[in-house]
Amino acid sequence: MKEYELKYGCNPNQKPAKIFMNDGSDLPIEILNGRPGYINLLDAMNSWQLVKEVKEALGMCAATSFKHVSPTSAAVGLPMNEKQKKAFFVDDIEGLDDSPIATAYARARGTDRMSSFGDWIALSDKCDVTCAKLIAREVSDGIIAPDYDEEALEILKNKRKGGYNVIKIDTSYVPESAEKKQVYGITFEQNRNDLKIDGQLLKKIVTDNKNMTEEAKRDLIIALITLKYTQSNSVCYAEGGQTIGVGAGQQSRIHCTRLAGEKADKWHLRQHDKVLNLPFKDEIKRPDRDNAIDVYLSEDFEDVIGEGNWQELFTSKPEEFPRSEQRAYLASLKGVCLGSDAFFPFGDNIERAAKSGVTYIAQPGGSIRDDNVIETCNKYDMVMAMTGIRLFHH
The verdict on whether 394 is a catalytic residue reads yes
The verdict on whether 55 is a catalytic residue reads no
The separation between the first and the last C-alpha atoms of the chain, rounded to the nearest angstrom, is 28
Catalytic pick among 40, 46, 165, 233: 233
The verdict on whether 272 is a catalytic residue reads no
Give every CB contact of residue 298 below 8 A, 6+ residues apart in sequence: none
The verdict on whether 233 is a catalytic residue reads yes
Edge to edge, what strands does the sheet with 358-363 contain? 29-33, 165-169, 140-145, 119-123, 62-67, 70-76, 242-248, 234-239, 336-340, 358-363, 383-386
**Residue 16, preceding peptide bond in cis (omega within 30° of 0):** yes
- Neighbour-count burial for 116-134, b at 16+ CB within 10 Å, e otherwise: bbebbbbbbbebbbbbbbb
Catalytic pick among 67, 85, 168, 228: 67
Catalytic pick among 68, 86, 272, 393: 68
Catalytic pick among 2, 22, 191, 394: 394
Catalytic site residues? 67-68, 233, 394
